[in-house]
Structure 1
Amino acid sequence: MSTRQQQTTDSARVASPPGPTPARVACRVHGGPVEYDGYSNDARSYPPDHGGHASNTFMDVDDTRLPGVPTC
Structure 2
Amino acid sequence: MEEKVIAGKKNGMAVMLLLIVLYAAAVLLMVMGISMGTEENPWLPVFLPGLIWLCIGWFPFLGLKVLKPQEA
Determine which structure has the larger strand proportion and give its number: 1
Q: Higher Cα Rg: structure 1 or 2?
A: 2
Determine which structure has the larger helix proportion and give its number: 2
Greater RCO, CA 8 A, separation 6+: 1
TM-score by length of 1: 0.20
